[in-house]
Structure formats: C-alpha cells, structure tokens
Amino acid sequence: MHIWTLLLASGHGTRIQGQNARKQFLPWKERPLYWHSVLALAAVPAMRGIIVTFPEDEYQARGKELVELGQTDGLGLESLCCSGGPSRQESVAKALHQLPPECTHVLIHDAARPFVRPFLIQNIINSLASGSGAVVPALP
C-alpha cells in the first residue's frame, strides 16, 4: 500500500465567536493546530506523504511555514501543499491532482480536528489493508 493523506486546512469555520482567525492556524503548544495532525500522521509508519491545502490568500506564507516546521521538528514525511478551493469538494479535488501516481490509498482529514491519534490512523489503514473499500472512523 502506498498511502497519502490530504489535510484540508483551507476552510474558514464560523463557530469560533469573536475570532478573526481560522481555527486550524491558532497556536497550541507553540505550533499551529494543523501541525498537530501532521505530526500524528507522520507517526504512522505506513504513511508515505501528506498534502496540505491552504487558503489561497495564505498559500505562500503557510507553505513556507510547512517546510520550516518540517525541518525544525524533523518530520521525516514527504509533505506538499496546494491552495484550496472555495468549497471542501474543490479543495479535495485540487489536492488529489497533486498525488504521486504510485499512491494507492488516500486518507482525508480536516485540519480543524487536530487531536487525531496515530492509533486511529493505523486502524483505518488496517481496515483498508484487509479489503475495505472505504473507512469512516468513529470513537465511542
């Protein structure tokens, strides 16, 4: 299996009242929230790479940030980025076009949900490896 993840960080939530910032970029433990998802994905041995979608107006700065954080934290995972689209579907489509041809499986994760754990990602991969065509994770 050649597995990549699309990490969608180009959206703009409306549930954080009074905030003029996108949730996925708010700092937590000296890193933007989306970075914690990147680290969880990098901790899964089967993960080959990640593509992060960023808002078009922040694409250049966030792309540079992605590279710098990867170097600082020793990511050890191929990471690419692209600008997202005006909708989630369009962001996914743009990121899918960036996948390498050898990619066989794709995971999609929202950067606004930064506390995903490697064990959950590994369970998804295990289900795919056992023949599941699609997996929707759930926790009790």
> Tokens standing for 41?
């994905």
- Convert the pLDDT of each residue in 119-131 to its tens digit: 999 999 999 999 9
Residue 89, classified by CB atoms within 10 Å of its CB into exposed (0-12), middle (13-18) or buried (19+), is exposed
To the nearest 10°, report the CA torsion of 15, 60, 57, 109. Answer: -30
pLDDT tens digits, residue range 10-37?
986 655 555 666 888 888 899 999 999 9
Domain definitions of the chain by residue range: 3-12+22-127
Average pLDDT over residues 46-51: 97
| pLDDT given at position 13 | 60
36 is written with which tokens? 């914690």
How far, in Å, CA of 13 to CA of 1, rounded? 33
pTM above 0.85, yes or no: yes
Query: In the CATH hierarchy, which top-level class contains the domain 3-12+22-127?
Result: alpha beta
